C-alpha cells in the first residue's frame, strides 16, 4: 500500500528554533508538493519539485523557509527561525508528471502539525 510518509507527525517548539520536516514521496513519483493548511488561509502551496528540481517556491516566505530534495526519496522543509505565525499543518504530496506540465492527482501525506510557542 504505497503512501506518502511525513515526519514528525507533531512538533511543538519555541519561537526562534529551527524546524525541519521530512517527507518520503511514493516510490516512482516525480513531483513533490509542500502545502500549509490553517483555519484562516486554508490550503496554500508553498513549493513544488519535479524530478528533484525546485520549479516553484513563490508561495514560501524566502527569508525563513527553505525546501530541498536531497534525493528522490526525501524532501525537506525547513523553517529557521520559526515564529508563532508558522503554526499550521504542513502537508507533503507527491504525484506523477508524465510529460511537460501534465500531471495526475496528488497523494497527500498525513501532515506535520507544527506549534510554535
Partner 1 sequence: EDKVVQSPLSLVVHEGDTVTLNCSYEVTNFRSLLWYKQEKKAPTFLFMLTSSGIEKKSGRLSSILDKKELFSILNITATQTGDSAIYLCAVGDYKLSFGAGTTVTVRA
Which positions touch partner 1 (CB under 8 A)? 31, 42-45, 48, 50, 55-56, 91, 97, 101-111
Query: Please, what is the minimum distance in Å from the beta carbon of residue 85 to partner 1?
Result: 19
Q: Which is nearer to partner 1, 54 or 81 (CB)?
A: 54
Q: Which is nearer to partner 1, 81 or 96 (CB)?
A: 96
Length of the chain: 117
> Do 59 and 44 touch, CB atoms closer than 8 A?
yes
Instruction: Give the 3-state secondary structure of 62-81.
Output: CCCEEEEEEECCEEEEEECC
Q: Which is nearer to partner 1, 81 or 115 (CB)?
A: 115
Query: Please, what is the minimum distance in Å from the beta carbon of residue 105 to partner 1?
Result: 5
Give the contacts of 58 (CB within 8 A, at least 6 positions apart): none
Amino acid at each position: 500500500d504505497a503512501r506518502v510518509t511525513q515526519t514528525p507527525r507533531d512538533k511543538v517548539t519555541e519561537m526562534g528554533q529551527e524546524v525541519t520536516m521530512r517527507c518520503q514521496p511514493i516510490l516512482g513519483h516525480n513531483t513533490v508538493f509542500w502545502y500549509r493548511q490553517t483555519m484562516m488561509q486554508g490550503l496554500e502551496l508553498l513549493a513544488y519539485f519535479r524530478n528533484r528540481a525546485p520549479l516553484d517556491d513563490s508561495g514560501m516566505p524566502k527569508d525563513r523557509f527553505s525546501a530541498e530534495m536531497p534525493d528522490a526519496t526525501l524532501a525537506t522543509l525547513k523553517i529557521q527561525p520559526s515564529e508563532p505565525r508558522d503554526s499550521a499543518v504542513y502537508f507533503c504530496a507527491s504525484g506523477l508528471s508524465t510529460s511537460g506540465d501534465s500531471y495526475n492527482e496528488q497523494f497527500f501525506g498525513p501532515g506535520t502539525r507544527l506549534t510554535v510557542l
